[in-house]
Every structure is written in structure tokens, then in C-alpha cells.
Amino acid sequence: MKKLSKIAILTASATFALATASFAGAVPNNSQASRANDAATISQLQLAAQQALADGRNGGKNNLEYRRKNYEINLLVDRLQSGQQVDPAEIDKAMEPVHIW
């Protein structure tokens, strides 16, 4: 019985060590690249939000559409800054100019 528990403890320890080592190496590189991409994306989105407000002030007859666009972009920026995952399609849509039909 003693021999079995020693083997079980050694196996569990080895499994834990291997699992910890395999996860520890991948996270920092991914998160650093992700943070750099997020910072660049956030700055681009903030510029797009400011542009939407400026377009609304400069004679846009549908100012509410420009304000809505600014609001949506700011929500997206908040999600990125809080670390949430954002679909790239949402970012692409936010970067498009305001469509007034």
C-alpha cells in the first residue's frame, strides 16, 4: 500500500509539473503581443470615435447617427481595455464611416 501511494504521489507531482511548465511559457508572449495589438487598435478606434463626433458637428444633418457611432466605438474601446475578447468583425465595422440612408 505504501509503495502504491508513493507512485501515485510521484505521478501526480510529475503531471502537475509538466502541465505548469507547458502553460507558463505560452502566456507571456501571447499576452504581450495581444496588449500591443490592443493598444494600437484602441488608439485607432478612439480616433474613429473623435472623427464621428467631428463629422456630426461639421454639418452632418443626422447628428444622432454620428453620436450613436461614437457611443458604439467607445463601448468597444471599454471592452478592449477591460480585457474582454472582441470579434475582429466588430472592430472592422466600428472603423467604417457612418452610413446614412
The C-alpha atoms of residue 41 and residue 38 are separated, in whole angstroms, by: 5
CA distance from start to end of the chain: 78
φ, ψ of residue 82 to 5 degrees: the values are -85, -5
List pLDDT tens digits, range 14-43.
555 555 545 554 444 455 556 656 788 889
Helix H segments across the chain?
2-57, 63-81, 88-95
Residue type, 61: K
39 contacts: CB under 8 Å, gap ≥ 6: none
List pLDDT tens digits, range 39-93.
888 899 999 999 888 888 886 666 788 888 899 999 999 999 998 888 999 999 9
Neighbours of 69 (CB within 10 A): 22
